[in-house]
């Protein structure tokens, strides 16, 4: 992946950076400057918007918003001060305009500095190549830097810019850092993503009959089914909010119990697992299960990378693996070879349910979703003409 370079729309990146935080002009101001002024107006005084200490004084000493929360407890810092974290601001945003303004400011500032300007600083001409680390995470997942592809947000951000002409509506600008990455002429991107892989691994490791039953249906959506059972309603009445709520509950429960070995035999030492300190022991127990699921998922993804690249090479295809984002693999593929590569990738990834030489035999099938597009930010689902059959290695 480090030897292959990804094409970047550098001009669009520059324009986006200028729009997010450039100098004020006659008819409009940059969004960050605009939000800064709105924050000062809402607070009734000027302050450094990026300073947590100054924001804390205004929110809790001047406005005393914590007193309006009733019985709801707000998060605190390690030093037991009132927190100005995203969690705290989300709880306060209905009580006063300032927390919502700060949330938007932070979001846009992060996109500008980390994603837009960060990508620009790593761009050579019109190409970019990240550095991938094999051993920097405890779970075994790959990590990336210069730039960190894995941190780029999936969703686009809608930004409204005030117009200083009477009667003119605000302009709405869509910012999507992933859309800045584009394939070469005659090529397209293909993404292959393991679906709910950690929950499928949980079903296999726990042998829970309900989870096993859910995943035997290839069309089933596990979180929708669990939300339906939890709410006592039919699946077609489960809202997106209910599904996300069920998802959060499942993973919070999952990461609260304990093993320390991935499905392919990698071990993570946990020196505090028998600690007399309750907090250290509790943290080690959470890390144990986190490692089993995330580490096993990392094993599967790495195995998929190796086998796909080997098969692509032996079949003389030109497809290139350009990035790995957690459970997703991103390929740059010649348009003329897209269908063949898509079948190869999906079949190979789903066949990892059984890996005979490593003794891996998952009791639930693996499912891979495919998408393709002319930029990383405009990927559409790809449906193969026929269903591939999983085979073992």
pLDDT in tens, 307-337: 999 999 998 899 999 999 888 999 999 999 9
Give residue 246's pLDDT band: very low, low, confident or very high (50, 70, 90).
Answer: confident
Distance of alpha carbon 337 from alpha carbon 243, whole angstroms: 37
Does residue 29 register a pLDDT over 70? no
Whether the per-residue pLDDT at 341 is higher than 90: the answer is yes
What ranges do the domains of the chain cover? 6-182, 191-221+261-381
pLDDT digits (tens, 9 = 90+) for 209-219: 877 887 887 77
pLDDT for the residue numbered 334 = 94
Q: List own/partner pairs for 241-247 with CB under 8 A and 24 or more apart.
A: 247/223
Give me the pLDDT at residue 335, please: 94
Find the mean pLDDT for residues 164-182. 70
Highest mean pLDDT out of 5-19, 145-159, 175-189: 175-189
Contacts of 17 (CB under 8 A, 6+ apart): 112, 116, 117, 120
Q: Phi and psi of 95, rounded to 5°?
A: -95, -20
Q: Please say whether the beta carbons of 325 and 148 come within 8 A.
A: no
User: Which pLDDT belongs to residue 280?
Assistant: 74
pTM: 0.66
Domain 6-182 CATH assignment equals 1.20.1060.10:
yes
Residue 167 is predicted with a pLDDT of: 58
Helical (H) or strand (E) element with 193: strand 187-194
User: What is the tens place of the pLDDT at every residue in 355-382?
Assistant: 888 888 888 899 999 999 988 888 899 9
CATH number for domain 191-221+261-381, candidates 1.10.760, 1.10.3280, 3.20.140, 3.30.70: 3.30.70
Percent of the chain predicted with pLDDT > 90:
26
User: pLDDT per residue over 153-164, tens digit each?
Assistant: 777 776 666 555
């Amino acid at each position: 992946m480090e030897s292959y370079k990804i094409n970047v729309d550098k001009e669009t990146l520059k324009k986006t950076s200028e729009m997010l935080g450039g100098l004020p002009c006659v008819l409009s101001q940059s969004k960050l400057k605009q939000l800064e002024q709105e924050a000062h107006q809402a607070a009734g005084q000027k302050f450094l918007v990026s300073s947590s200490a100054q924001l804390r004084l205004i929110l809790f000493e001047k406005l005393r918003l914590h007193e309006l929360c009733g019985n709801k407890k707000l998060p605190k810092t390690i030093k037991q001060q009132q927190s100005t974290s995203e969690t705290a601001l989300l709880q306060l945003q209905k009580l006063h305009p300032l927390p919502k303004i700060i949330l938007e400011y932070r979001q846009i500032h992060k996109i500008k500095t980390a994603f837009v300007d960060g990508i620009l600083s790593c761009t050579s001409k019109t190409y970019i190549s990240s550095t991938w680390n094999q051993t920097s995470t405890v779970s075994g997942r790959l990590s990336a830097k210069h730039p960190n592809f894995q941190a780029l947000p999936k969703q686009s951000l809608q930004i409204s810019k005030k117009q200083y002409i009477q009667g003119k509506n605000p302009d709405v600008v869509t910012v999507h850092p992933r859309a800045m990455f584009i394939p070469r002429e005659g090529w397209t991107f293909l993404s292959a993503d393991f679906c709910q892989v950690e929950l499928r691994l949980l079903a296999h490791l726990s042998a829970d009959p309900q989870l096993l039953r859910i995943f035997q249906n290839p069309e089933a959506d596990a979180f929708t089914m669990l939300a339906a059972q939890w709410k006592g309603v039919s699946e077609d009445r489960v809202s997106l909010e209910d599904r996300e709520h069920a998802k959060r509950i499942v993973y919070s429960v999952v990461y609260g119990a304990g093993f320390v070995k991935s499905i392919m035999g990698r071990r993570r030492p946990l020196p505090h697992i028998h600690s007399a300190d309750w907090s250290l022991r509790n943290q080690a127990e959470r890390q144990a299960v986190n490692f089993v699921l995330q580490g096993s998922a990392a094993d599967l993804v790495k195995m998929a990378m190796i086998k796909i690249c080997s098969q692509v090479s032996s079949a003389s295809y030109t497809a290139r693996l350009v990035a790995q984002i957690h459970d997703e693999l991103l390929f740059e593929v010649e348009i003329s070879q897209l269908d063949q590569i898509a079948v190869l990738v999906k079949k190979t990834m789903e066949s990892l349910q059984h890996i005979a030489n490593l003794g891996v035999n998952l009791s639930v099938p693996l499912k891979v979703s495919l998408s393709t597009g002319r930029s990383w930010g405009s990927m559409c689902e790809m449906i193969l003409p026929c269903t591939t059959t999983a085979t073992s290695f």
